[in-house]
A and B are shown apart, each in its own frame.
Chain A
Amino acid sequence: MNGGFPPPRAMTAPLTARTTILLLAFACAVCLRSVLSGASGSESMSAGLVFAGCLTALGVAAGLPAPRRPMISVLSGTLGAAVLTVPALLRADPVSLAQRPIAGFVPWIAVAATVAVTEEAFLRGTLFGLITQLHGEAAAVLVSAIAFAGLHVPLYGWHVVPLDIAVGMLLAMLRILTGNWCAAAVAHVLADAAGWWL
């Protein structure tokens, strides 16, 4: 909040430069993951971990906000995950749900959670904070949601864009309402975990 006056250009120029570099580097990380995945696409766990490493390095370099208010984050994140998964649960096939093997779940969720947390730390932590300082919360919600959808396009195709933009906006709203990115991370991890069965 700045009382309605935009921050002086001398103050915003370094932030703008940092945000621009961050977005370009994010695009590079998405390309790197896509090239490393090759034909395996989203099933390449090693490419997912490299991507998580890139986002962590970028987020820490640009100033990652420290996690805060763990209880509120867990409760809000769980509620967010419920909103994300209930429609899929209603459409799920009960026979397929019962047949999904549990054997590979632990290694899978370990990697999926690592990727999800680093995505949230970067998008709803570092990037969201910078864009909010420059252009306000509405811009931060939209840019982080578009980036979220964009990172999934090389893995799944363009058809996921509407859903991923909407989900990205919900995760950004969790960031706004709780004041930190951890609630979005909790929602993201729980929704991914539910995806094993859904």
Chain B
Amino acid sequence: MTAGGSTRSRRGLLYLTAAALAVAWLLPGRPVPIYDGIGAPDEPYRYVSVPPGVQIRTRPPTLAKVTVPVERGVASVVELFTSEQGPQAEADITGPSLLTVPPASGSTPAPRSITVTLTPLAPDPADPQIDGNIYRLTWVAGSSTPTFHNNGADLFYLRATVGPPPRATFLYRHGPSEPWRAVATELAGADIYSALIQGAGDYALTRRPFPAAATGNANSGTSPWSLILVTILILAMVGAVLTIRLMRIRSAT
């Protein structure tokens, strides 16, 4: 490659890099760029209504809202999360299961989009001891209500007000007048819990024992498969280091 060609090539790479950065920053996504593998600590929990005895002053919690197009009666992938660092609530509705909407009937055209919303609410004094806010998941498609078909992989995430222990349990109710029920809960991070999306309705965390609480077994212990996998990966690493070293020695001689 000539010097002029090299300069042109580098200039082209520089333009490509600037374009890639501009596109990446313009894409909707989490508000904070993540460059490295050590997660920055979360900002203090934002309450809708700060509980008695908690000394904290924050901005109000954010709601999340996303409108997704409907194709052949099915909405595409929906991922929405609130804008705190890190998000206090997130709903990932993926795959083909999704939200189907009623077809056109008579003079009513079929909806072209679905709007999914996550709204933070303050717990009612009558509620069980809830850790943080209640998050209400709703979806609408024009004047109709879409139907949800859980494919077993659609998850709701909530960040607890502080990290464990004690572990928290997910609570769900279809509407404000219905009772809370516990749902199988997984620990998805130091202070993040996940549960299968049950449908539209209210989601919250509690740290108190709850009747019929069914919790997942994430982090309940190290499985033997994990140990075997770690051993294999360490051996592969050692093998790679030795092989590369030997190759360099041979090429030098």
B237 and A84: CB pair below 8 A? no
Q: Which residues of B contact A111 (CB under 8 A)?
A: 38
Q: Are A95 and B37 in contact (CB under 8 A)?
A: no
Residue of B nearest to A140 (CB): B13
* Inter-chain contact B36/A192, CB cutoff 8 Å: yes
User: Is there an interface contact between A166 and B21, defined as CB atoms closer than 8 Å?
Assistant: yes
Pairwise interchain contact B36-A119, C-beta atoms closer than 8 A: yes
Whether A173 contacts B17 in the complex (CB less than 8 A), given A87-B33, A163-B25, comes out as yes
A residues contacting the other copy or chain, number (CB 8 A): 80
The reply to whether A163 and B29 form a contact with Cβ atoms under 8 Å apart is yes
Q: Are B13 and A138 in contact (CB under 8 A)?
A: yes
Contacts of A137 in B (CB 8 A): 6, 9-10, 13
| Chain A residues with CB below 8 A from B16, complex form | 169
* Contacting residues, chain B, for A172 (C-beta < 8 A): 17
- What class of interface size applies to chain B in its complex with A? 35 or more
Inter-chain contacts of B37 with A (CB < 8 A): 33, 42, 48, 51, 115, 119, 151-152, 155
Q: Contact: A162 with B248, CB < 8 Å?
A: no
A74 within 8 Å of B by Cβ?
no
A134 within 8 A of B: no
Contact with B along A168-190 (1 / 0, CB 8 A): 01101100110000000000100
Contact stretch, chosen from B98-106, B119-127, B183-191? B183-191
Please name all residues of chain A whose beta carbon is closer than 8 Å to the beta carbon of B34 when the two chains form the complex: 42, 152, 156, 160, 163-164, 195
Chain A 51-71, CB within 8 Å of chain B: the 1/0 string?
A: 100100110011100000000
Interface contact B38-A22, CB-CB below 8 Å: no
CB of A159 within 8 Å of the partner chain:
yes
Residues of A within 8 Å of B58, CB to CB, are 95-96, 99
The residues of A that contact B39 with a CB separation of less than 8 Å are 41-43, 155
Assembly CA distance A25 to B243 (angstroms): 11
Residues A112 and B20 in contact, CB atoms below 8 Å apart: no
| CB-CB contacts below 8 Å: B1-45 with A | 1-2, 6, 9-10, 12-14, 16-17, 20-21, 23-25, 27, 29-41, 43-44
**Within 8 Å of chain B (Cβ to Cβ): is A17?**
yes
**A195 x B43 contact (CB < 8 A):** no
Q: Are B33 and A95 in contact (CB-based, < 8 A)? A: no
Does A88 make an interface contact (CB < 8 A)? yes
Interface assignment of B245: CB less than 8 Å from any CB of chain A: yes
Further pairs besides A21-B240, A96-B59, A167-B35: 8, Cβ < 8 Å: A29-B237, A33-B37, A48-B37, A51-B37, A88-B31, A137-B9, A162-B23, A191-B33
Jot down 7 A-B pairs with beta carbons below 8 A, ordered by A. A14-B251, A21-B244, A28-B236, A88-B33, A104-B41, A115-B36, A166-B23
Q: Which 7 A-B pairs have the closest CB atoms?
A: A25-B240, A42-B39, A166-B20, A166-B24, A163-B24, A112-B38, A32-B233
